[in-house]
Every structure is written in structure tokens, then in C-alpha cells.
């Protein structure tokens, strides 16, 4: 359990937000995931109705995370994670760790301009197929008929997934805010369901730890010279950019922005004096994950600050 998690637990007016989870998560036998839970109303009711299940909720909006955490006060079987599920799904969960994944009215993913962000994008579909248990299900609800058909066709042809249901306006005991909105407006909603029917694995891209030691100390001027320097690794579609540097005397924090595909992270690289040289690592208070772009940014900063070969 990390410190912030402990803080949240000590404040029972909030549910449990996993702020810096070790990856992959250690999930209990019966674990499920909701992607894009919005205000968390459905999420909390669902978790209450399934006390024997550990429900994970991944949501990209910080405001929604807070709303859900408020509703989830005292609820022991919900874990909230504030990140982008498109990139982080397979990083957060081991192969075959979830019995059910559901995604309800994921409107930002269904627009034409966002085709590469959709559930049907190969990368996301592979992640989904990997983290589900064999026999586990993925369920998506949408008000967009064309999108529901595309999901049905594309995911239905994935080697590890089999279409198990396609329903129009199914009756459900617990409903979401968007579901009620569309139904009240007289629109249909579509539920597409899949079962994982064979083993499948996907490659992971994040790591747990990264420290780089260089043999020389660094000074504020050298760090300031990194400001606005950008780097790119085409192979991983990774990009990074350095910003301002801050110092408390001995150590420095270097502002850094990265993107992996379109997964953006902002954090600090910490530079500490160590045995006459310097140690570079991700700032421990950062909630960034060690993706390829973050690793490249740390290596690049180390290379630029090293005096070796000068």
C-alpha cells in the first residue's frame, strides 16, 4: 500500500484511489474493470451489489475520479485509477486477471476523427483480449448504432474473442447517467458482448524502476540548458520535452513532458548527488508510469548531463 493510498483510507469520506500503483496490479481472484465510469454513480451501485468482486474503475478525468471517490466513501471493493485506459489497460493488469470488463457510453472514442482511439484499434483490442480470463467477458454499451456494429465486427473477428450478444435497449437493473439520458430522449442503446475463448498475451511496455548514475555532479546552469530540448523515438512513437529545473540546494527536479502514442504524462526527473556523481530517477511523488517515453527522457537527460567523453 503506498502512502497516498493509506491517506485516502484514513479519510473515510473518500473511496480508495490507487495513486501510484505498482504494476501490474495484484488483483484478487474475482476482479472486474469498468472503463470510463464518469460520475461513478453506476460504479458504486455495481460494487455495492457485488461485494464478492473487486471492481477497478479507470477514468481519464480527474474531476470524475473525485466525484466517484466521494460516492465510494467506505466501500471496500472498489479501486479507482486516474489514467488513460487506452494506453494503460494492459500495463495495469496481468494476462488473464479480469473476469469482466465493461465500458458504457464511451462517446469520445466513437467519433470518426478518433478512429485510432477506438475500442476497435488493434492495440486496445489485443490488450483487452490479454487481460481477460478465458471465459471472461467484455461488454460495451453505446447509443451509436454504427459504432456498435463496427465493434461487433472488428472485435468479433479477434482471434481470442467471440461475439456473445448484441442487444437493442436491454433492460438493466442499474443504469448510468448517459443511459438514462438517451433512453429519456427515446433513443435506442446497443449492448455488444464478447467472451474470451482462447489464451492470448500482449507485450507490456512499462517498467517498475529506473535509476541512471553518471560520474559527475551537475549544476543549475547545466540543467537550465536542457529547457525546451525535445527528443523522439520513432520506433515507440515516443516524444519528450524538458522544462524548468528547480533546486533545493543539493538535488534538482527537472520538469518533463512525455507522450507515448497519445498517452501524455507530466512529471519531474529527480537528480540527486550520489558518490561524487549524480543519480537520475523518476521523482517518487510523481504518479507517472515508466513508459518507453519516460525511460528515454531519463536516459536522454543523463546523457546530456554526463561529462564523459567531453
Ligand X SMILES: C[S@@+](CC[C@H](N)C(=O)[O-])C[C@H]1O[C@@H](n2cnc3c(N)ncnc32)[C@H](O)[C@@H]1O
Rounded Cα–Cα distance for residues 138 and 162 (Å): 10
Rounded to the nearest whole angstrom, what is the least distance from the CB of residue 10 to ligand X in the complex?
27
Residues, the chain, total? 310
Nearer to ligand X by Cβ, of 14 and 102: the residue is: 102
Sign of CA dihedral 51, 29, 170, 119: positive
Contact range with ligand X by CB under 6 A, out of 59-67, 126-134, 184-192, 250-258: 59-67
Q: Among 55, 59, 81, 194, which residue sits at the site for ligand X (rule: CB under 6 A)? A: 59
Q: How many residues bind ligand X (CB under 6 A)?
A: 21
Q: Among 15, 38, 127, 231, which residue sits at the site for ligand X (rule: CB under 6 A)? A: 38
- Tell me, residue by residue from 143 to 182, as one string, x for binding to ligand X by CB under 6 A and - for no binding: ---------------------------------xxxx---
Nearer to ligand X by Cβ, of 114 and 159: the residue is: 114
Contact range with ligand X by CB under 6 A, out of 56-64, 188-196, 220-228, 294-302: 56-64
Rounded to the nearest whole angstrom, what is the least distance from the CB of residue 172 to ligand X in the complex?
11
102 touches ligand X by CB under 6 A: no
Rounded to the nearest whole angstrom, what is the least distance from the CB of residue 98 to ligand X in the complex?
15
Instruction: Tell me the C-alpha to C-alpha distance, in Å, between residue 107 and each of 69, 140, 142, 186.
Output: 22, 11, 8, 18
Nearer to ligand X by Cβ, of 88 and 280: the residue is: 88
Cell reading at 219: 549544476
If we measure between CA atoms, which residue out of 35, 84, 82, 70 comes closest to residue 55?
35
Name the residue with cell 481477460: 132
139 touches ligand X by CB under 6 A: no
* Contact (CB, 8 A) for 41 and 34: no
89 touches ligand X by CB under 6 A: no
Rounded Cα–Cα distance for residues 46 and 141 (Å): 15
H or E element in which residue 270 lies: strand 263-274
Nearer to ligand X by Cβ, of 92 and 305: the residue is: 92
Name the residue with cell 520538469: 255
User: Exposure pattern of 45-70 as b/e (b: 16+ CB <10 Å)?
Assistant: ebbeeeeebbbbbbbbeeebbbbbbe
Q: Among 15, 106, 127, 292, which residue sits at the site for ligand X (rule: CB under 6 A)? A: 106
37 touches ligand X by CB under 6 A: yes
Contact range with ligand X by CB under 6 A, out of 49-57, 81-89, 90-98, 160-168: 81-89
Contact range with ligand X by CB under 6 A, out of 104-112, 124-132, 204-212, 225-233: 104-112
- Enumerate the H helices of the chain as residue ranges: 3-10, 41-49, 62-71, 85-92, 122-131, 145-156, 177-184, 220-224, 292-305
Contact range with ligand X by CB under 6 A, out of 82-90, 128-136, 243-251, 271-279: 82-90
Interface with ligand X (CB under 6 A): 35-38, 58-61, 64, 84-86, 104-108, 176-179
Amino acid at each position: 500500500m503506498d502512502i497516498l493510498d493509506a491517506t485516502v483510507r484514513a479519510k473515510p469520506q473518500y473511496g480508495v484511489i490507487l495513486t501510484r500503483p505498482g504494476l501490474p496490479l495484484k488483483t484478487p481472484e474475482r476482479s472486474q474493470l469498468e472503463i470510463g465510469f464518469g460520475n461513478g454513480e453506476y460504479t458504486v451501485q455495481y460494487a455495492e451489489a457485488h461485494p464478492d468482486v473487486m471492481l477497478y474503475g479507470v477514468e481519464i478525468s480527474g474531476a470524475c475520479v473525485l466525484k466517484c471517490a466521494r460516492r465510494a466513501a467506505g466501500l471496500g471493493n472498489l479501486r479507482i485509477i486516474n489514467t488513460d485506459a487506452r494506453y494503460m489497460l494492459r500495463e495495469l493488469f496481468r494476462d488473464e486477471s479480469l473476469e469482466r470488463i465493461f465500458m458504457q457510453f464511451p462517446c469520445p472514442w466513437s467519433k470518426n476523427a478518433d478512429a485510432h482511439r477506438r475500442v476497435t484499434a488493434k492495440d486496445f483490442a489485443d490488450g483487452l483480449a490479454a487481460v481477460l480470463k478465458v471465459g471472461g467477458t467484455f461488454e460495451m454499451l453505446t447509443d451509436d448504432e454504427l459504432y456498435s456494429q463496427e465493434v461487433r465486427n472488428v472485435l468479433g473477428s479477434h482471434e481470442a474473442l467471440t461475439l456473445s450478444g448484441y442487444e437493442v435497449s436491454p433492460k438493466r437493473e442499474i443504469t448510468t447517467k448517459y443511459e438514462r439520458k438517451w433512453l429519456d430522449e427515446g433513443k435506442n442503446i446497443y449492448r455488444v458482448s464478447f467472451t474470451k475463448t482462447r489464451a492470448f498475451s500482449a507485450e507490456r511496455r512499462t517498467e517498475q524502476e529506473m535509476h541512471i548514475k553518471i560520474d559527475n555532479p551537475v549544476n543549475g546552469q547545466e540543467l537550465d540548458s536542457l529547457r525546451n530540448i525535445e527528443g523522439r523515438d520513432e520506433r515507440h512513437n515516443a516524444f519528450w520535452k524538458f522544462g524548468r529545473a528547480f533546486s533545493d540546494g543539493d538535488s534538482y527536479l527537472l520538469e518533463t513532458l512525455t507522450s507515448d502514442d497519445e498517452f501524455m504524462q507530466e512529471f519531474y526527473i529527480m537528480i540527486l548527488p550520489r558518490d561524487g556523481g549524480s543519480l537520475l530517477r523518476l521523482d517518487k511523488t510523481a504518479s507517472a508510469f515508466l513508459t518507453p517515453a519516460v525511460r528515454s527522457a531519463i536516459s536522454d537527460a543523463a546523457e546530456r548531463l554526463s561529462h564523459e567523453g567531453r
